[in-house]
Amino acid sequence: MFLPAEWHQQAFVQLTWPHKDTDWAPVLADAIHCFCAIAQEVAKREPLLIVAQKPDEAKAELTKRGISLGNISFVQCPTNDTWARDHAFITCMDEEQQKLILNDFQFNGWGLKFAANHDNQINKNIFSEVAKLYRTAEVKYRNCLDFVFEGGSVESDGEGTLMVTSSCLLAENRNNTLSQQDIENRLKKYFNAQRVLWLHHSWLAGDDTDGHIDTVARFCSPTSIAYVKCGDRNDEHYEELRAMEEELLAMRTANGEPYTLFPLPLPDPCHDEEGERLPATYANFLIVNDAVLMPTYNQPQKDAEAVAMLKTAFPNRQIVPIDCRILILQHGSLHCSTMQYPRF
């Protein structure tokens, strides 16, 4: 059994749709426009599952934009929010028994910061629909609800190495009765991992997740990592991200070699109406079949630099930019709003 890397061939991707009872309410039309853009790009390449409080409304929004529903499935379910990366199943593969194991961890609103009573029950509510999408493959539900854990807090190289941040996994109001070693042991057990790489430096202003790994550093292959680099000494992120870079430079692959590192620029500061800095990051990209969907922030030079770097990191995949300025208003981005499901 193992936790596949994101570049493993995918069966489908999940989106959880925004609605008027979420925090998106003041900017709902703009949020829906962005979700439609993501849906369109995913559905061009693989099936898409949309979890929606009112599926007919989601269908209508997609249809009026000329997006075909032919590769999209819908399931009705009450939801608090839209961050599928953190409330969706985290799927392992058991090649010996030809099984997919859908791990359902406890989601508590990133350390009890936000309501999650509906989102924490989505997986149980939609399991039968998810199993149907796999058709011939055997799918097993695994109850991991005694452990608070979010998909955005872990990176897998697909070969037994995980990468995480201590700021998130050791945060109060998640699993504060467990030590770092206890948590590492759990991760090795749940994902049959051999190694856990810990980043002790990682931070983005405006982040609600306590430093999810998928906002700062991402495996691009078993031997390479894309990461956020701050080149401005006057930026508040400079020292922390420089310290993170040093940690990445010191990390070694399972074979004892240094990782190939692909530095992504830190976007210029983005702020909300109250002047709070928002956690814009190019590291929050989504790998799909044959492509990488990359968030952009209407910063032509930085956006282009990030596209060029990801083309180097993923030479055999199309890099697809998607404007995600609206998503960072709620302190997430493209990867945060999606979850991939692997296939045999």
Per the structure, the complete domain to which residue 219 belongs is given by: 10-342
Strand partners, 138: 99
Decide if 24 is inside a domain. Answer: yes
Instruction: Specify the 3-state DSSP secondary structure of 3.
Output: coil
Q: DSSP alpha helices (H): ranges in 135-225?
A: 166-169, 180-191
Looking at the predicted structure, is the pLDDT value of residue 136 above 80?
no
Q: Would residue 289 count as lying in a domain?
A: yes
The DSSP code for 19 is -
> Which tokens is 122 given?
């989505």
Residue 1 lies inside a defined structural domain of this protein? no
DSSP structure string for 40-57 = HHHHTTS-EEEEESSHHH
Residue 100 in this model has a pLDDT that exceeds 90: yes
Q: Cα-Cα-Cα-Cα dihedral of 105, 202, 10, 145, to 10°? A: 0
- Residue percentage of the chain with pLDDT more than 90: 98
Nearest-angstrom CA–CA distance, 90 and 150: 9
**Region 120-133 average pLDDT:** 96
Q: How many domains does the chain have?
A: 1
In CATH, what number is assigned to the domain containing residue 309?
3.75.10.10
pLDDT tens-place string over residues 28-61: 999 999 999 999 999 999 999 999 999 999 999 9
* Residue 53 covered by a domain: yes
Domain assignment present for residue 2? The answer is: no
Res. 321: pLDDT tops 90: yes
- Is residue 273, in this structure, part of any structural domain at all? yes
Which pair of structure tokens corresponds to residue 74? 């819908």
- Is 172 part of a structural domain of the chain? yes
Query: pLDDT confidence of 311, banded at 50, 70, 90?
Result: very high
Write the single-letter amino acid at 248: L
Strands 161-165 and 10-16: unpaired
